[in-house]
Structures are given as C-alpha cells and as structure tokens.
Chains A and B, each alone.
Chain A
C-alpha cells in the first residue's frame, strides 16, 4: 500500500514539472516533436531509476549524520551531509556516462534512439532534484527509493509527451505573434499545472483534510444545535410567562 501510494503521489501530485518546475530547460527545448520527447522521457525514467536508489545508498551509508557507524563506533558522530551535492552530482554524471557506454555496447538500437539525449541528462535538474527530494523527504527503504525514482520519471515523461503533442497541434492555431513559440508554451504549461493540481486531494493528503473538515462540520453542527435548543428554551420560558401573566 505504501508503495502504491508513493508511486502515484510521485507521478501526479508531486509531478516534477508541474509542481516543482524541475527539468524545465530540456522540457521546453526538446518538446517540439512527440517522437523526440518520448526518447528523452524514456531516458529520464531510466536514469532516475538508477541514480535515486544509488544516491539513497550513498546517503544512508556515507553522508548522513552517524551513517559511518558501520566503519566502527569511533566514526559515529561524523556528519558528511554537506558533501551531498557534490557526491550526488558526481554519481549522476558517472552513471550517465556508464549507462551510455553499456547501452551502446549491448543495445545499439536503443542507443540510437536514446543516445543523443543521454549526455544532456547529466545536467537535467529533474535528475538531481529526484535525489535531493529523496534526501530531504527521508525516504525509508531502498525499495521505496527505487519506486520514487521510477514514479517521478514517469511523471516527467507524461508531462513532456503531453506538451509535445499540444505543441504539434498548436502550430495550426492563430496565436498572437508575440506569444508564438516560447510564450504560449509557458502559458499552456501553467494551465496544465493548474489541471494537475486537481490530483492534490487524491491520496492521503486529501483524506486528512477530509477528516478535519468533517470534524469541523460536526463541531459546527453541535454548537448550532446547542444554540437552537437555547433559543427554544428561552422561547418556552417566554411563552410560559405569557401564559402565567394571562392566568393572573
């Protein structure tokens, strides 16, 4: 359950592009055609799925405060977390290079479709962002880290394919000249981001809010009910006094 939740959360709710604007540079530059967008998106999923778990291991066993205890008790109070930027980016750059070599060797056809995008990916903010978010959200297990990597990769993939499809069609529309190209892409992305915000209540976050709301509602109803009773009581008193007045 935890896995499914994190998976959908990282695709829709915390979408890399629409919620955090990560990887916008390549998102805007490589989204003119659907086929190239699919290639880059696939490469991003691939690299995120490798680098996030790897950086999780680094973070867990090297960088965090007390992570070095496995070396011996005297290393327990070392805190190397200030090195995390440089470690993460080095891992990413190396892995991208390595993946490029391996893919070229074993699957030339995949290399031809991904090849030109792989070097670009080393400096894609979405990749480093995935690792940094993994660190700051304190994801607990290796499996969850892998899950998070794949999920956010798929989210990025969806975003770039969607915008590429829209940009292919928008060529036939009559956009104001000054907005053509970059400007309209920004505005469409903004509108898509508004659309994606509606996924916000889909998972646990929504449930928590819902329970709070119902609590508030019940509290509100109780207070109004009490107020009503009071009103009734006072009106009863008034009526009885009226009756007693009449009798007198």
Chain B
C-alpha cells in the first residue's frame, strides 16, 4: 500500500488473520453470534461496529491526555454509548425492519469487549491516525468472522444468500432440491453459531501451528 507505511498497514492486516479479535483474542463474541443466522444483519452489524470503533478510537485517542485514569472506564462507556445511539437512530430511520431484527444487539455494541479492549490497549497510548487504523483493522477482523459465519449459516440453513434463493426453490423442488437436497434447519438455531466459530478456529489453528494453546 502506497498510502500507508509498512507499520501502519500491519495495524490493519494483523487483526484480519493472526491476531483476529474473535478467534485469537476472544473478544466481542457477545453480540457477534446471535445475529449471524443471516448474511444481511451480519454485514450491518459489521459496518456498525466499524463506525463505532473507528470514530471511538479517534475520540479516545484525542482525549487520552486529559482523561483522569480513575474514571476512564466511565468516559469510554459514555463515548461508545453516544456513538451507538447515533448508529441506532440512523438504523431506525433508514432500515426499520432490520433494526427490529437486530433488537437489543445494536445496544450491546456498547459492551462489546473489542471496543473497550482496543480503547484500553491502543487508543489510550497511541496517536490519532494510528488509533483510527487500529480501530478499522480490528473491526474488519471482527466483520470477516461475522460474514463467514453468516454466509454458511444462511446458505446451509435456509438455502439463500441475502434472501435470494441460490440453491433453488425448496417448495417447488427446483435446482439442488430436485436431486433430493434438504436444508439443514439446525443451522438457523443459535447453538450452531458457536459450533461454526469453533470450526473456524479449528481450521485457522491447524493452518498456523503457532497459535495452538496447550
């Protein structure tokens, strides 16, 4: 990347693979899994988190020298909560049915551990531009996992992607269904999100042996 120095591009690329916030750092799982039964809410969630993390990291990094360390948690929570209210109101105004579907999980971005974790670990100690890149990078790493899980759960669970019937019509028996394929209704249920993430972790760690825990 010409725009970014090597050190800066590392900030974005690292969380995508070997330092992924979900599979390696184990942060931000709370709000991630419940909304991944379909692809569309997963992507909306990923974009919302990216907005909150990018802007939040910049704000915290600008204020890092004037926040008293004793009350920093409350200051961070107020910054995140304000950003999340913006996201929530925008969704309510422009995508009402989607915001109903995501229900409380937009609100739960506030307590998403990735955000607090990055504020504590990075934005409080680094400059504005680097904090912004770090925020975007971690949100991308989070979004990638969300989108992978959403993709598989929607494809295998309901045979659709973004609501389009990519595998044929299950009622009229066209496409794959004509040769006896059936949807796995289990993929839509909450427990499968955990198992899919477990499998992603499995694949990732068998490709990169350094990540294996004992």
Residues in chain A within 8 A of chain B (CB atoms): 18-25, 28-29, 82-86, 88-90, 93-94, 119, 122-129, 132-133, 136, 176-184, 186-187, 189-191, 193-194, 197
Contacts and interface: CB of A to CB of B under 8 A. Distances in A.
B191 A86 contact: no
Interface centre among A83, A85, A129, A189 (most CB of B within 10 A): A85
Main secondary structure of the interface of A (DSSP, over half): helix
Interface in B99-142: 103-104, 107-108, 110-113, 116
Given A89-B110, A122-B73, A178-B205, A187 B198 contact: yes
A86 B109 CA distance: 12
Contacts of A123: 73, 77, 111, 113, 116
A81 B89 CA distance: 11
Contacts of A127: 111
B108 A22 contact: yes
Contact of B27 (A25, A93, A176): A25
Contacts, number: 145
Interface centre among A19, A90, A126, A179 (most CB of B within 10 A): A179
Nearest to A22: B30
Nearest to A83: B85
Contact of A197 (B33, B85, B89, B191): B191
Contacts of A122: 73, 77
B206 interface: yes
Given A125-B111, A190-B191, A190-B194, A179 B85 contact: no
A23 B33 CA distance: 12
Given A129-B104, A183-B201, A93 B74 contact: yes
A197 B194 CA distance: 14
Nearest to A183: B201
A19 B34 CA distance: 8
Closest 9 pairs (CB-CB, A-B) = A181-B213, A186-B198, A190-B194, A125-B30, A193-B191, A178-B205, A178-B206, A190-B195, A132-B104
